[in-house]
Amino acid sequence: MRAPSEVRASRGGAAQVVIGLEVLEGYHVNSHTPADPYLIPLRLTWKPGPAEPVEILYPEPKLEKFAFAAKPVSVFTGKFAITTRFRIPATAPLGPAALSGRLRYQACTDSTCLPPRTAEVRVPLNIQP
């Protein structure tokens, strides 16, 4: 993980975080809304911190047909992004802080699946008056 540049946000203002992801060719990850309840959805969650997540926006999933499923599966492949909109409370402490989150995902190919994994996401934030 490469440390990000400092990002500035204002007390009482808003911030937007875009998580760009790239899935290795030949693999897919389940979308955030898999039709099958047994499939593990892609999920970004944020820990309580200096900013409050207001909305997490996932892209439109692809419905792809795989040999292992009778119906198309809702997936993400290749490059895509997840956007989170944050609200900075008026009482947020000033100065450097960080947004910490977790990205849960589970990847498969057409014939095999990898175990579900969780990637830590950390975004430095500097809150200004």
Partner 1 sequence: MNEKEKRVAAVVSSAVGTVLFASVFLTACMPAEKKATASSSSLKPPAERKVAPDFALKDADGRTVRLSDYRGKVVLLNFWATWCGPCRIEIPWFNEFQQQHRERGLVVLGISMDEEGWDVVKPYVTALKVNYRILLGDEMVADLYGGVSSLPTSFLIDRRGRIASVHVGLVSKSVYEREIEELLAQGESSGGRASGADVVRAGLGANGGGAQGARSVRGAR
Contact set with partner 1 (CB under 8 A): 1-10, 13-24, 27, 29, 36, 38-40, 66-69, 73, 103, 105-117, 119-123
CA distances from 90 to 48, 64, 87, 129 (A): 16, 44, 9, 9
Q: Which is nearer to partner 1, 40 or 56 (CB)?
A: 40
Answer for the pair 117, 105: CB distance below 8 angstroms, yes or no: yes
Answer for the pair 106, 113: CB distance below 8 angstroms, yes or no: yes
Q: Which is nearer to partner 1, 91 or 102 (CB)?
A: 102
Least CB distance to partner 1 at residue 57 (A)? 14
Do the bridges between strand 117-128 and strand 8-10 make them parallel or antiparallel, or are there none, so unpaired? parallel
Least CB distance to partner 1 at residue 3 (A)? 7
Least CB distance to partner 1 at residue 118 (A)? 9
